[in-house]
């Protein structure tokens, strides 16, 4: 398992870790509506890579304890997860502080 940061400077190196990957875990900040479009762009870029064509996807919708956060359903809609026909996927509400989810 690799824990890869999402900063711009690190994204170019992500594909060096794709070989033999069976699933992706993407942690989404449920309070950050502005960056969700970047998350979507990067998710679909990753899934288009030849080494990830059969990878399953787990989205953790983190910070569900914060008032005004996006629900998992809203995040799923914004990321257009239902369009992922070739990938099994699941979105899970969670709160890293409490361990819920």
10 pLDDT above the threshold of 60: no
Q: Is 51 inside any structural domain?
A: yes
Q: What is the CATH number of the domain that holds 53?
A: 3.40.50.300
Q: Answer yes or no: is 8 within a domain.
A: no
Q: Between the CA of residue 4 and those of 12, 15, 37, 72, what are the distances in Å?
A: 11, 11, 19, 22
pTM assigned to the model = 0.86
Question: Domain for residue 31, yes or no?
Answer: yes
Tell whether residue 92 is among the known ligand binding residues. no
Task: Indicate if 7 belongs to the active site.
Answer: yes
What confidence tens digit (pLDDT) does each residue in 25-66 have? 999 999 999 999 999 999 999 899 999 998 999 999 999 999
Cα-only R_g, the chain: 13
DSSP class of residue 56 equals: E
Q: Which domain holds residue 61?
A: 22-93
> How far apart are alpha carbons 16 and 5 in whole angstroms?
14
List 7, 16, 20, 82, catalytic entry: 7
Q: If DSSP codes are grouped into helix, strand and coil, which group holds residue 27?
A: strand
Residue 1 forms part of a structural domain: no
pLDDT (0 to 100) of residue 20: 81
Residue 4 is assigned to a structural domain of this protein: no
Number of compact structural domains in the chain:
1
Residues 62-101 have pLDDT tens digits of 999 999 999 999 999 999 999 999 999 999 999 988 999 8
């Amino acid at each position: 398992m690799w824990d890869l940061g999402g900063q711009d400077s690190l994204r170019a190196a992500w594909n060096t870790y794709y070989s033999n990957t069976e699933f992706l875990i993407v942690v989404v900040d449920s309070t950050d509506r502005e960056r969700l479009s970047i998350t979507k762009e990067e998710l679909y870029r990753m899934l288009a890579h030849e080494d990830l064509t059969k990878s399953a996807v787990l989205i953790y919708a983190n910070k569900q304890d914060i008032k005004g956060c996006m629900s998992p359903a809203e995040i799923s809609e914004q990321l257009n997860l239902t369009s992922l026909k070739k990938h099994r996927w699941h979105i899970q509400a969670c709160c890293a502080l409490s361990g819920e989810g």
